Structure 1
C-alpha cells in the first residue's frame, strides 16, 4: 500500500468516524510497531502494526444474570431480551438490565468492550437487540443510505380485531402527546413514521401481525396500531386489553443486515415467547 496518513487509513479501513478519530488522537495510546507516536502526524505503510485503545470506563456494573445470545462474533452480539428487562440501566434502575448482563459476558470471556446497543426495545417488548462491540461498528450500523437504516427489524404482534386490508403500510407522523413525557400520538406536526404490516393469522377476535419498521420512532408500532383501532394486546398505555397477557404482545423476532466489517449477510430469528404462544393457542385463534 502507498504511505497513507493514519486518519485516512483508519477511516477507510476501520470505518472510524471523525468523533472516534478525535478520541484516538487524544488518547495517548496510539502505537505503530510498538512505538508510541503522534497519531495526527503519523503516516501508515504496508506491514505496519497499529494499536490504540479507545474503550471508555463504563458506568454499567457487570452482573452475572441470564443472557440469551443468538449470534456473536468479534464485532457484534445479538441478544434475545426477555419481556420485563430494560435494555440500558437508568438512574433509578441500575441493575438487572441487558447492559449489565452483556458486560458480565464480555468480562467472563476476557473481552474489554463498552456497551453499544444499536437500537432499543421497550421494557415490555421481547426479542432481538443488536449490540456493537466497538463504536465504529455502531456508527456504521446506525448510518443511513438513501434515508434508511442499514439493518432491518421485523416484529410479531397480537392485536385486537382483524385489520383490513390484511396487508398494508401505515404512514402516519408521530409526536409527543403532551404534557406526558411518555405517551406518543399520531399528529400532523409529528415526525415521519412508516410501518409495514402483514397478517399472519386471523382469529375470531384477534390477529397475529408481522411488522417491519421503515423508521424508528418511540412506540411506533404501538401508536400506529392503536391509531388504526387495533391496539396490541396487553398494551395498557395505548388501550390494549389486559385479560389474556399482562404485557404488550410485541416481539422483535427478526434482524437482518449486511455485516459492516465482513459483508456477510446476517439473518437471525428469535422464536416467539411462551406468553404470546399461549394467547395464540387460545379459542380466539
Structure 2
C-alpha cells in the first residue's frame, strides 16, 4: 500500500485531470477503500486545498478555487506545451505578460526533464512568428539571466556591442526590463565598477556563478534603461519643452526614442537622442506642436539653418 503522502499527491493529480470524481472511482484508481479516500480528502483540506463534496445523483469530489494556486502535477507532454507557450509569451507575442512569462519559465526550467527540455528547444527552433520585426533573444540566455537576477548571484556574459566588438563581462545582474520589443539586463559591471545596461539579443552566452552580489544602492531599472537606450548611445542629446500633455507626446515618441516628463502646465519635457542634428530637428517638427529647445545650443543654431533652407529661393516663396 502506498504511503499517505504519495497517495495524497496522486489524488491531487487526479482532481486536476477531471472536474468531478466519485469516491468509488477514486478508490479504484488508487487501489484503496472509500474510507481511505475520505481521510486523504481531509488531509488535502488541512493543507489548504478546497476539495468540495456533493451528495446525491451526480455528486462526488471536486477541487474548487482557493486563495492560492495548488501545485500543478504535469505529464511530460503538458509540461512541454506550457513551456512552448511561455517562450512565445516571453518573446512578446502575448501583450502584457512577457515579464511574468520569463519568471514562470525560469521556475519550470529548473525541474523540466532532459527529454522535455529537448522537445521544447526543438519546437522553439522551428517556430516562426509573423509580425513586427523583433530582436531575437536566446531562451537559454533569457532564463539564465532571470535566475541570476532572482538569486542575486554573479554571472559572466559574452557580449557583442553595437559596433560588433565582443567582450566578456563579469556582472551582478539585478533586473530584466522589457522595453517595446527588446529585453535589457540591468547589472553592475564589476570590471567597470558601475551600472550598465545590456541588450539580451547581443548576449551570446551566460554563465551563472554562486558568489552572492554585494549590497548596493540600485537605480530604478525602468528609468535607467530608458535613459541609457534613448540618450547614451547618441552623439547629440536634446532637451525640449513641448506644448502638449505627456500622454500625447508618448503616443508619438516610444520609450526607446525618448524620455517624457509632464510639467503640469500644459507642457511636458522631452529628452531624446540622435546621431545628427537634422534627425533631432525632424523629430521635433513631427510632434506637430510648439516646441522650445533648451539644449544643446548646436541644435538651436541648426534649427535656424533648417529655417533658412526652407525659405531659400529653391524652396517655397
TM-score (norm 2): 0.24
Name the structure, 1 or 2, with higher relative contact order (CA <8 Å, separation 6+): 1
Structure with more strand by fraction: 1
